[in-house]
Structure 1
């Protein structure tokens, strides 16, 4: 594809994302799957343009509306080009110059670009939520958590996330996996915090590599790997991954258990559990089974008090993953947070039934908001005084030790994660 053709595809994809209620990555996958003529390099360039717009969506909208226009996908792409220092003349040259290029600029579009010329994305008159690229109601909540660090954390959330892998110790070592990835022309470095992790530059084709196909590595953020480490699942234990989703943490738990013992991967979605089974087979895991949680299900009652470890990776706002999902911050509403806090408490109430005396309940989210994290734990402990917090252990760096595992992009280089290990009295 020509550069102009890639621009047109990016504009079309942005339009599809705006018209669809699904997450942007799901829309993008379908968009690209139906356009097989778009090659790998073209996909990366298109993705960089689209995700660049999504990461700057509130600021771009502010600028375009400031000069009296409507933020269309086409105008946002143009505005991003000019506000990032490309001249109006050069931006205009990309439009209308070839068969597959976007149509030539209209007079109104040229007027907008001329007014944006010589400016940058940021402006002192922007509201704090616009400048930090987050919903207005979230700003005071994150300010309460981060204080003066909020600007640094919000800047980190606007950057592309690295590509982290978890080495599958059931099949290989971190050193061997690094060498095999290098043979596949994928340069990987050991992660700083996770003993199982490798980090690559973003947007590399790992899933087509032989190490991935052989189940030697799995894509998993370093922070998510640390949640698995906090669980301390050992060989021979009985473990429940209560919100297993596609099985990322189930895989890590099976690895620390050395395929010995029993894991039950639970979820409310049959499709997600089907995806988990495929990943477990590829990884060589054979001590896990799945269980579909359905309305009226009596499984937790029948299995009460039988598990050594129960992991609740709860549904949440996902504020800690905004590096990967910048569109999520545009959809998040205050009512969503209120609904999720109620759902998280209900999930914990159900999951705790499975924990045997002396067993552990790990509560985790990929949220940065205290209401979903420390606040949720405090409410749970008030309802169930037989549980107590077990501080983060010596397997973690000293600065991470405490009652909670708290991770953030600027400080730790991971997605934003919260986790707390609670143990039931014997």
Structure 2
């Protein structure tokens, strides 16, 4: 494809994303490219890079276009991205819209006038950040998360916000059922993919940039799984051991279930629960590839008596709760635009209900692990405080103690009673985890 054809395809992709604003952008993009199988890998990457640059900078691009009273369209968003973020001059941007077969139509007289007005409005400013921007837009954060992020990060807010804009590394987890971390690294290296050990997870390998790992022999044979180091730490802190009975109460596609099975060496029993049948079905292929045979799946449905019948039977219950996903925004920048305060309120209610239900499964002396990929205190510490007020038979196990018991090396990655990871401090996605122990009777 020519550069002009790639640009036209990026505009079409942005239009597709706009048409389904509540759907995750990666799902829409997958459908977009599946319907255009003629687009090769290199062209696809170039199209994705341009479209995702617009998505990642959307708050700022909208501010610039509103400043010149320009209606937001995919074409003008791309033109503004090229001018402001990719340092093209006006003539270069105009040349990127040449018209003709497969290329984007030339900018109209109005669009060109607006482009020149946008260029003039910069007044010597380079890049997308302008001193007149409100704080949230300057930090590339929606206003509704600022109070929670400020409470979480204090004077490190700008540093963390900047880290959320950076490209995320690709983390892998060695599958202990088939290999060791060192052997997995060697297998990948033999295929031309160099990795380094993650600093906190004893199972993790990190690639500084994304690579087509899922096409490697190491992945296809189940030696490694894609999993952020922060997510690995939650599985580690669950401290699931061989012979235990474990429930992964919000298992989804079983990412953490796989890590728990590896830690348990396939001995004991894991029940992977979820409310989504497609997610549970999607886990089957992953479990088989990893060689996991100690997992059963259970679909949670309204009126389900499964949890009641199994009250007090599990040594470990992991609740990887549905959340706003604010800790994953560097990987999912579209979520900044898809999520709003209404979602936060609804999710907080759901999290409390799930925790309450899952608590009944934990045996006396067992542990309930609550985790989110959110950095908002409302979804994290506030949920734990509310739960403990309602369930005095549980008490937090301090992070340092849980870290040592689980076999973590050195000091735990966070201070305080709970695990909190973030992109700037740890190089991971943002995760929260609390380990709650059920008090023995008597």
Verify the 8 A CA contact 1:168 1:215 in the aligned structure 2: yes
State which of 85, 88, 111 in structure 2 corresponds to 1:86.
88
How far the C-alpha of 1:112 sits from its partner, in A, is: 2.3
Q: Which residue of 1 aligns with 2:264?
A: 257
TM alignment of 1:322-333, pairs within 5 A? 322-333=329-340
SS of alignment partner, residue 400 of structure 1? coil
After the TM superposition, which parts of structure 1 deviate over 6 Å for at least 4 consecutive aligned residues?
none
- Unmatched 5+ stretches in structure 1: none
- Write the distance in 2 (CA, Å) between the matches of 1:223 and 1:253: 14
Q: When the two structures are aligned, how many residues end up with a matched partner?
A: 426
Counterpart of 1:203?
A: 210
1:423 aligns to what?
437
| 3-state DSSP of counterpart to 1:137 | helix
Inter-CA distance 104–322: structure 2 relative to 1 (3 Å threshold): same
Q: Deviations over 1:230-274 (max 9, x none)?
A: 100000000000000000000000000000000000000000000
Specify the alignment match of 2:317 in structure 1.
310
Distance, in Å, in 2 between the alignment partners of 1:385 and 1:349 is 12
State the alpha-carbon separation in 2 of the partners of residues 218 and 9 from structure 1: 31
> Partner residue of 1:386?
393
Which stretch shifts more, 76-85 or 353-362?
76-85
Give the aligned partner of residue 30 of structure 1. 31
Give the 3-state SS of the residue equivalent to 2:242 in structure 1: coil
1:246 and 2:253 correspond: yes
CA shift, 1:398, in A, is 4.1
C-alpha deviations, 1:316-374, integer Å up to 9, x for none?
Answer: 01000101111111121111111111100000010000000000000000000001000
**1:295 corresponds to 2:296:** no
Matches within 5 A, 1:275-294: 275-294=282-301
Q: Please give the per-residue CA displacement for 1:164-197, whole angstroms capped at 9, x wherever unaligned.
A: 1111011111122112212322222211111111
Relative to 1, partners in 2 of residues 1:53 and 1:144: Cα closer, same or farther, differing over 3 Å? same
Q: Aligned residue for 1:373?
A: 380
Look up the SS of the partner of 2:360 in the other structure.
helix
Match of 1:184 in 2: 191
The match for 2:416 is 402
The aligned residue for residue 164 of structure 1 is 171
CA contact (8 A) 1:168 1:217 kept: yes
The residue matched to 1:290 in structure 2 has which SS?
strand
Residue deviations 1:88-113 (CA, integer Å, cap 9, x gap): 11121111155222111212222222
Q: What corresponds to 1:116 in structure 2?
A: 118
Shift of 1:203: 3.4
1:263-274 pair list within 5 angstroms: 263-274=270-281
Aligned in 2, Cα 1:99/1:163: closer, same or farther, shift over 3 Å? same
User: In 2, are the aligned partners of 1:4 and 1:98 still within 8 Å (CA)?
Assistant: no
Q: TM-score, normalised by structure 1?
A: 0.98
User: TM-score if structure 2 supplies the norm length?
Assistant: 0.94
Which one is further off, 75-84 or 292-301? Answer: 75-84
| Deviation by residue 1:200-234 (Cα, 9 ceiling, x = unmatched) | 24432111111111111111111000000110000
The 8 Å contact of residues 170 and 258 in structure 1, kept in 2 or not, is answered as: yes
Residue segments in structure 2 that go unaligned for 5+ positions in a row: none
**1:66-81 equivalence runs, <5 A:** 66-81=67-82
Matched, 1:53 2:60: no
> How far apart, CA to CA, are the structure 1 residues paired with 2:301 and 2:346?
20
